[in-house]
Structure 1
Amino acid sequence: MKEFRPNYYKNKKGRDLFWKMETRCYPYDWCIGFCELNIKKYEMRIGEKTRDTTLDKRKIATYQAEINRLKDTRRALDEIGEEW
């Protein structure tokens, strides 16, 4: 499913919170926890806010994709002996 990362979340340099997580501005555990909690939020409210669940499903997919990117980055860093 296509990710949902609207431009209105980006700053003047075109960077959003995901960019800050991907560039290790925050601790790894915070980033994973943030994404996991957002997934839970959208899972709990799916179909409640609107009948069309498409947007909530896209948001869930976005946060799951971010978790996968963060884990891939962490594995790559571990392989070269670099800290998060």
Structure 2
Amino acid sequence: MPTCDKTVLNRLKRTEGQLRGIQKMISEEKDCTAIVTQLSAVRSSVDHIMGLIVAENLKSCFENPEIDAIAQEAKVTEAIKLIMKK
């Protein structure tokens, strides 16, 4: 498994744990501000994971270029669009 995959999976597992913690906070009727703070942390974590995946995709585009220049440009453009969406 490539290093990026391990990093992404570890971050996803950590984020999953954060979500479980938020569920527990809600069931225990914890303070709304604390819950929103944790939700914001989860959102930041997911944004970071998305960035890692897109960056790896873009890196792959340059390290393993398509033979067809038009296909290569399409791959790079798609990666840039994903970054801009974030």
TM-score range with shorter-chain normalisation?
0.5 to 0.7
| 8 Å CA contact retained: 2:8, 2:52 | no
Identify the structure with bigger relative contact order (alpha carbons < 8 Å, sequence gap 6+).
1
Please state which structure has a larger fraction of its residues in helix: 2
Number of aligned residue pairs: give it. 57
Larger radius of gyration: 2
- Superposition deviation, residue 75 in structure 1: 1.0
Gaps of 5+ in 2: 64-86
Runs (4+) of structure 1 moved beyond 4 Å?
none
Is the counterpart of residue 56 in structure 1 residue 35 in structure 2?
yes
Match of residue 76 from structure 1: 55
Structure 1 unaligned runs (5+)?
A: 1-23
| Structure-2 separation of matches of 1:68 and 1:32 | 11
**Cα offset for 1:55?**
1.0
State whether structure 2 residue 16 is matched by structure 1 residue 36.
yes
The TM-score with structure 2 as length reference comes to 0.52
TM-align CA RMSD: 2.4
Identity between Structure 1 and Structure 2 (%): 12
Q: Is the 8 A contact 1:43 1:60 kept in 2?
A: no
Q: Give me the TM-score of the superposition, normalised by structure 1.
A: 0.52
